[in-house]
Structure 1
């Protein structure tokens, strides 16, 4: 690689996002710089982390049988702002500046430009989410959105079949996206499916179940050797804890090892708890919204010892 081609730099560090296929390059003057960058990256990239900030508590699809998911393109891309816009797709939305207004104690202030701290925090994610929710509010009943993902659910109604209703819903959604110039990433879109992935779970006509790939990762997890590995394991397992009955009770021996004064000692009781979590997720039930016309039991999510 020619030195002049990189403006005096001899090395190029490439970082690839496997999900989107995007690749970014950083010019470095010395090999030691690239090694330092890699070490820094490894300090905050773990093998498995807690999956999402939000959980799928329940799915309001009212007996839907056809599903689709759209992923908006360039959602987090930040190229500066012009008046009320933070990302390219918001530039086309042409929302009134009052949409971004914020209230203070004595007045309401309208932003001409987004503050620097907001532009760089999550690349304007919160403002983008607010914009998409506002623009797609007319189809919210059958096409809810979560940041850059839009989920469509349909069922037979008014003499229309599941497929016909689904096509009508998609036309309405795509019509709005065309109107406001919201672009979808075709590689991440799913249409006319009986089940779609949402936030680490699979949602279908029967209800919600854990992603088999995440269950496989947990079931094949090797025996833990230190607190760091334990935190990684519990990070994923706790996200899926709603599928395991008495989860807090089962992981109690593992939770004791996370205490500040606790000495790391992997006992038979810890191994038993470790295996119980694996088995519980392997046999995870399908969760569904309660049918109000049929009898059902209510189980409270409470514990005498798993507090905080």
Structure 2
């Protein structure tokens, strides 16, 4: 039996513990599809976006297909220690054998038949490119019942964004941070609207069993910290703690310290007018051939960045009902 590894959009090293996995058998394919293989075996966790697939020959060509399916299921159960749901494409009836049914029953695996998806798929010669697109299509057709329970990690953060997408208009999320904003609308005060939004968000979190740390929660505040800035009804301003750190930064002595300083300052550069022009003497020191020499011009640029952040204005929230003016320059060394 020939097995060809299927492209995966998730590195194996990033796999975490899943609550429920899907095994999907799709086929039969046309003769020229999947490099001559007739069926496609997919292992999918939709919540995390992880996917792994393998091509299988027809049962009539190889009795080892059944053993292969059992091997993969046992391997995944052993690795993740979680339940498996077997989702079988209704065209793949060749695999609905008594031996597999008994195996599912013994292992406590739930079976489900899906609508035809890949029966007429033709991947021609572009196996690696088009097969990946087909697998994503199959993944998106699977039911979204699995939950990703691991606390922290790349997949749980993506899972939060995926599960809370229905409330993103008033509760956008960034990885595992959720921000709820409300204003008076339809005769409701801003407080009443905010309470309604919170009920919807918390109800959704309860439904998907997502938990929040109360010590990190802020409710009913007029201004909250978001990604290094303070956001309120009047606009956006830099976090005073970060501004204090920059204003108290000692004179730089080497390239490593310069990179650290510019790393934090550049994060808040939108509050400093002509930031790129002001730091030009400092950025010149980062060039590969540059020799470290702290000049009066460098000190002046260093102080200008500090002063600019200390006097940073409050940036107003964009009003979509008013005209916008785009202002830029044609400088050959700095923009902004």
The TM-score normalised by the length of structure 1 is: 0.60
Preserved CA contact (<8 Å) 1:155 1:162? yes
The worse-fitting range, judged by mean Cα deviation, of 25-34 and 190-199 is 25-34
Preserved CA contact (<8 Å) 1:247 1:277? yes
Give 1:290 deviation, angstroms: 3.2
The alpha-carbon distance between structure 1 residues 73 and 93, as it changes in their structure 2 partners (threshold 3 A), is farther
The alpha-carbon distance between structure 1 residues 28 and 195, as it changes in their structure 2 partners (threshold 3 A), is farther
The alpha-carbon distance between structure 1 residues 279 and 112, as it changes in their structure 2 partners (threshold 3 A), is closer
1:173-194 CA distance string (max 9 Å, x none) = 0011111100001111000000
Unaligned runs of 5+ in 1: none
The alpha-carbon distance between structure 1 residues 267 and 214, as it changes in their structure 2 partners (threshold 3 A), is same
The alpha-carbon distance between structure 1 residues 171 and 40, as it changes in their structure 2 partners (threshold 3 A), is same
Q: In structure 1, the residue corresponding to 2:231 is in which secondary structure? A: strand
The alpha-carbon distance between structure 1 residues 142 and 24, as it changes in their structure 2 partners (threshold 3 A), is same
Preserved CA contact (<8 Å) 2:89 2:117? no
Q: CA–CA distance in 1 between the matches of 2:213 and 2:286?
A: 41
**What CA RMSD, in Å, does the superposition of the two structures yield over aligned residues?**
19.0
Return the structure number with greater relative CO, CA threshold 8 A, min gap 6: 1
Preserved CA contact (<8 Å) 1:243 1:280? yes
> Is 1:280 aligned to residue 308 of structure 2?
yes
The TM-score normalised by the length of structure 2 is: 0.56
The alpha-carbon distance between structure 1 residues 255 and 148, as it changes in their structure 2 partners (threshold 3 A), is same
Give 1:7 deviation, angstroms: 52
1:189-213 CA distance string (max 9 Å, x none) = 0000001111111111011111010
Q: CA–CA distance in 2 between the matches of 1:305 and 1:53?
A: 56
1:272-302 CA distance string (max 9 Å, x none) = 0000000111111111233355455422377
Task: Indicate the residue corresponding to 1:201 in structure 2.
Answer: 229
Q: In structure 2, the residue corresponding to 1:27 is in which secondary structure? A: strand
Q: CA–CA distance in 2 between the matches of 1:68 and 1:195?
A: 59
